[in-house]
A and B are shown apart, each in its own frame.
Chain A
Amino acid sequence: MKVLAAMSGGVDSAVAAARAVEAGHDVVGVHLALSRMPGTLRTGSRGCCTIEDSRDAWRACDILGIPYYVWDFSERFKEDVVDDFIAEYAAGRTPNPCMRCNERIKFAALLEKALALGFDAVCTGHYAKVIEDGEGNRELHRAADWAKDQSYVLGVLTHEQLKHSMFPLAETPSKAEVRAEAERRGLSVANKPDSHDICFIPDGDTRGWLAERIDMAEGAIVDTDGEQVGTHPGANAFTVGQRRGLKLGTPADDGKPRFVLEIRPKENKVVVGPERMLAVDQLRGIKVSWAGLPIDQVVNGGEFECMAQVRAHGDPVDAVAWMEDGGEGQAELVVRLNEPMRGVAPGQTVVLYQGTRVLGQATLDSARSMERPELQPTH
């Protein structure tokens, strides 16, 4: 196969490309230029987007003996990921930009260009597994190493996208193994630190970064009865479940810490309350997609048992899910949780699993709080 290896400059994508080469594929390395003004050197825990990262990717390709190119997706990245990130926060939601990048850049813009230029697949260093059934249908599964498993951030991929995806790190028992393999292969990125911040926020200060881009106005922090308990510099920089940074002078009646329960962007209010009030027992999601065949071909009946996960390394929770008509032809996913979850924010993605298999995902639109059933959706 002709394979395009997306090379971030990190160790995972370098080893993934190496394995694709070793498997006999015709591999070309491509680094995605996602920033119009790339920094010269890598700083902190950012794992991509600087010229140094581009050079690291280039050197890995040299060692593997494959051609290397840089393709510019900065404009698409800005519109589809960065602007979307800002708009979601401005609307009081909590987006996952890495997921958005997988959905719209790596496995859409890049994949489309790759297919047009004659490639058969895009290969990345994600820890996840693609399995094909006897009829050529693709399924997405968790990686062998659950600690590194990245199936959550790939849960948004559709059958069409999975058809052209290749994840050579699927069966790797651990990250340490990948580093050792990189060392063995003479890849200089073997000991490069992991990246874990949002790549387009260089210093990791998400709130400060957002404050420069969203009109923030001081507003009230209120309790669940509507009583003002403090002020905030701008509601949009908060996330449901957040505890730090509220700067509430007076303690709550029960003396326990208070958490962000809800953000009301229109009223510029942040609602806080005790931790137990964060518990939700039902989720409702929009923009539903299935990671493989449509759900009615995977499960029988309207309701199906599954496990729901709402963040990259969150614990999955047993649940029962079904589809409802949300009006205007939009299907909505409803997930009833067998045990409550805490700190679920609108805008987050719920990914559904059966065993290791990813069924699909939806963007959370609202969650039903067990103690506050009056809570309204944010849109």
Chain B
Amino acid sequence: MPVYLDHAATTPLSAPALAALTTELSRSGNPSSLHGSGRRARMVVEDSRETLAVAAGAHPSEVIFTSGGTEADNLAVKGLYWARRAEDPRRRRILCSAIEHPAVQDTVEWLAKHEDAQITWLPVDTDGTLSLDALQSELDDDPGSIALITVMWANNEVGTIQPIEMISAAGARYGIPVHSDAVQAFGSLPVSFTASGLATMAVSGHKIGGPVGVGALFVGRAVKLTPVQHGGGQERDIRSGTLDTAGIAAFAAAAAHVTGGLAEESMRIAELRDQLINMVEASVPEAVLRGHHTLRLPGNAHFTFPGCEGDSLLFLLDLVGVECSTGSACTAGVPRPSHVLLAMGLTEAEARGAQRFSLGHTSCAQDVEALGAALPEAYRRARQAGMANHASTIQTAGTGFRS
């Protein structure tokens, strides 16, 4: 069995989620059908909606089930932008943190390219915390031109937790809706949609022990969203598509399970994480912990390792069965310096040495020990391999080979 230190990418299914999933997969019925099978499926969906609402501190009617976090983010950002612009055509600005997940960042950039949106990137400090002063000065500048604000609850790469309630309060003073991608926060931190003051909030099933392919967008009762995909209007006329009863039941079961024991479990994981951080710092003193040192996700430990490529380190650890990540999403597996680390002020060379270790419900002390056993040798070799952009030291015909 590999040592799995990549819970931020996806988590193994929790036992209650697996039970709910298999039970529902063996049944049939479209929750929108009006007969007995349909009503039975509908009941499962509505039970799940209530369960999820309780888990996230929301009202059941605020839950819009989606196919995952990415769809939820798209629906929120595009839906808010279009609805707000329809009310007042001056509202074209989107205030967006510089460290968003691609599900938000790419969506915002698409709106700029195709829908005349203007993006204002909100800066973060060296810990990856959003600058409230920068937000305030943008709000003071021309609030009437702002369509929405979007800031993630906790960062997926470096784990830094954002002051979400202060951000949504700042937006609320000007009547500007705030969206937050809470995909990493939900299930790791106490999250209350109602208390947060957010207009919309995105969550995902498979980051909390649920299955891949299901997520939700919490949408405040008074919030107007323009739909992104059109069809039967199953979810509050905002989201169309047949509801995935089995996925929804499993997601809700995972949410109930993880939020039920959150206080103890997050403490257990945070202790493990601190052991991991101490171990890394002891065995590789050159490593630099990134992200906020205290206001961070309990399962996140993110480091940059000077003088080596994150993908070399990943390869060497994978070779001995330790699974982790360079932290940033990539196309075709091509590693690029993370926009999050660059926004935090790191150089490209520093950012290339990134490695994220993320813990979750299956993590234990042996995992940390296994990493500790493998890391020093992996780092030594990765450093030897050096940086991808350095000139090769192998003498070739063109570099001064003498006969």
Contact = CB atoms under 8 A, between A and B. Distances in A.
Interface of A: 31, 33, 38, 51, 54-55, 67, 69-76, 100, 103-104, 107-109, 111-113, 116-118, 156, 158, 160-161, 287-290, 294-295, 323, 329, 331, 360-361, 363
Contacts of B392: 76, 104, 108-109, 111-112
B397 A287 contact: yes
Given A117-B316, A118-B381, A288-B403, A73 B398 contact: no
B389 A75 contact: yes
Interface stretch (B53-61, B298-306, B330-338): B330-338
B377 to A, nearest CB: 10
B386 interface: yes
Number of chain B interface residues as a range: 20 to 34
Contacts of A71: 311, 388
Contacts of A118: 316, 381
Contacts of B50: none
B394 A289 contact: no
A199 to B, nearest CB: 15
A302 B391 CA distance: 35
Contacts of A74: 334
A227 B161 CA distance: 75
Contact of A113 (B312, B336, B398): B312
A108 B382 CA distance: 17
A361 B397 contact: yes
A158 to B, nearest CB: 6
Nearest to B311: A71
Given A38-B332, A323-B403, A361-B397, A67 B318 contact: yes
B351 to A, nearest CB: 13
A70 B334 contact: yes
A104 B315 CA distance: 23
A169 B397 CA distance: 25
Contacts of B311: 69, 71-72
Nearest to A118: B381
B86 interface: no
B385 interface: yes
Contact of A54 (B333, B391, B397, B399): B333
A120 B334 CA distance: 24
Contact of A76 (B316, B335, B381, B388): B388
A26 to B, nearest CB: 10
B387 to A, nearest CB: 9
Contact of A160 (B336, B394, B398, B403): B394
B32 interface: no
B136 interface: no
A199 B127 CA distance: 41
A113 B309 CA distance: 11
